[in-house]
A and B are shown apart, each in its own frame.
Chain A
Amino acid sequence: MATASTTGDARPILDQIATTDRRRRISWRLWFSATWVALVGSLLFALWITGNIQLDFIAEWSPFILQGTTTTIILSVVSMVLATILALIGAVSRLSSNPVINGAASLYVSLVRGTPLLIQIFFIFFALPQLGIVLPALPAGIIALGFNYGAYMTEIFRAGIQAVAPGQREAAEALGMPERLVMRRVVLPQAVRIVIPAIGNDFVAMIKDSALVSTIAVQELLWRARSAGTQEFRTLEALLIAALAYWVLTIIFSFFQERLERRMARGDR
């Protein structure tokens, strides 16, 4: 048999390698998914054989509880937009050479990160009315969440801006671009790419932390689960439904986040 190296055609081997690789990948994925299904399935089965799960309650109250999903999504998305705006302003301010601007931004971050989110929510909804500022529950919740996450994200954006290579700023300045333009056109677009994974994580956390505003009677997922559960004395089922809904939401979001990250990385390489 001739050595296939120089003149012979090695293509059949390549095809075989490709087929084997594909088969391995598919089988890996199958096992991976099967593990999930098996674990979740046995957990639910274990709950069911205790005989304490009422499927009737689930069938009857699921629609009511799941209606809260819309509120949860609105709450999370609007709060996230607010947080992003605050974080952008905060980050640029934290890097400012002006002591007043820098001081104000750093106080914001310190204060918000140094106090519990739950107190901030209560403060805006229960304490501000004492000063004559009365906000409906949903806007109060959005402001509290947005304000809180804005502080954490300020630090993320600041790190992102500082992670942009100093040469980028120099190159832009050397072209005669004024400071603001350098920031807007050169530094921020690159910083945003750097922070997208971290911001994505924060959004997942935000979806879950939005449950805290159930305490001020915003009728989102957890609030509905609690009210249905207490009313019918079926807290276990109610909480299960809500927990599943949060879980599915975060899975869906993570899926899109992964795709976004892959797409943004493509332009760079």
Chain B
Amino acid sequence: MTDAPLPDLGARQATSTSGYESGSNLPSHIGEPIVKVEGIHKYFGQNHVLRGVDLEVRQREAVMVIGRSGSGKTTLLRCINFLEEPTVGSIEVDGVRVDADPLHARDRRHREQIRQIRMRAGMLFQDFNLFPHMSVLANCIEAPTHVLGHSVEHATKRAEYYLEVVGLAEKRDEYPARLSGGQKQRVAIARALCMEPKVLLFDEPTSALDPELIGEVLVVMEDLAHSGTTMIVVTHEMHFAQEAADRVVFMENGVIVEQGPPEQVLNDPRHEETTHFLRRFLDR
């Protein structure tokens, strides 16, 4: 299925949901669409933060979202697992589709659907948000045992595996406060992986880290990307995007301005805004 022909996206190229040019083939490892964001608008009060965003992410695809602060990229990510309730539009993750319904956002059925999406989409935060009162291992097995209903032994075995993946197996009994920022974020990644989500959402995962700790987190993320983990990453690490992204999405003023393979968007952008952003960004 990996080289199925793409639908013709023709004139809407700049805002096309897949970001690949019509007629071109997808990279061979990319699979079927797993995340569909359709027509998302988000208002904070009168502030129109997202102004109609469509985005489709396929299995095993690594999508990096860039743009200046205030462009709506973090809000977009948080809308995908409904940490922010979109005002208009719909989200689909792994076949679970939820329409924005701010009028009935607190209804039980709506909440349960959102929970189903959240179980399928792991989220990583800028400031890690490990549970400080639990050991590393307890952090990792909390949701699998209490949400998925796995036995402690089973969950522990898997947690040990994923801690090994992020290179922190020996820290399983430590408390988060005894870890460095980079280690905390890697534990957070392991914790998210323990739910075996269909997609990982990274919200500026290295922004709160000391410069010398950023690398260890990016290495783990790059490994995940190359081993076929579907991920959407909001980041300011252009070099990382260049290396690990299948697709780069540039956002400005609440819309997707341009998207495509990293070498194209980052090195040969088609839109003036993108050029402008990248130049200012690289100048700093």
Contact = CB atoms under 8 A, between A and B. Distances in A.
Given A170-B83, A171-B125, A173-B83, A186 B177 contact: no
A190 B115 contact: no
Contacts of A51: none
A170 B146 CA distance: 16
B177 A181 contact: no
Given A97-B106, A167-B125, A181 B147 contact: yes
A145 B50 CA distance: 53
Interface string A219-249: 0000000000000000000000000000000
B267 interface: no
B104 interface: no
Interface residues of A, number: 23
Nearest to B175: A267
Contact of A177 (B81, B106, B133, B143): B143
A133 interface: no
Contact of B133 (A97, A173, A175, A268): A268
A128 to B, nearest CB: 40
Chain A contact surface mostly:
helix
Contact of B131 (A174, A181, A186): A186
B127 interface: yes
B191 A167 contact: no
Contacts of B188: 171
Contacts of A174: 81, 83, 118, 121-123
B224 to A, nearest CB: 17
Contacts of A267: 133, 175
Interface centre among A173, A175, A177, A190 (most CB of B within 10 A): A175
Interface string B172-199: 0001011000000000100110010000
A181 B131 CA distance: 14
B129 interface: yes
Chain B interface size, as a band, is 20 to 34
B142 interface: yes
Contacts of A165: 129
Contacts of A189: 133
A176 B147 contact: yes
Contact of A269 (B123, B147, B177, B195): B177
Interface in A13-34: none
Given A173-B83, A175-B195, A176-B118, A181 B146 contact: yes
Contacts of B127: 167
A1 to B, nearest CB: 40
A173 B146 CA distance: 12
A186 B130 CA distance: 10
A136 B277 CA distance: 77
Contacts of B106: 97
A113 interface: no
A165 B129 CA distance: 9
B175 to A, nearest CB: 6
B95 interface: no
Interface in A169-187: 170-179, 181, 185-186
Interface string B123-153: 1010101111100000000110011000000
A100 B115 CA distance: 26
Given A174-B122, A175-B118, 4 more contacts: A167-B125, A173-B118, A174-B121, A267-B133
7 contacts: A170-B123, A173-B118, A176-B195, A177-B142, A185-B142, A190-B133, A268-B177
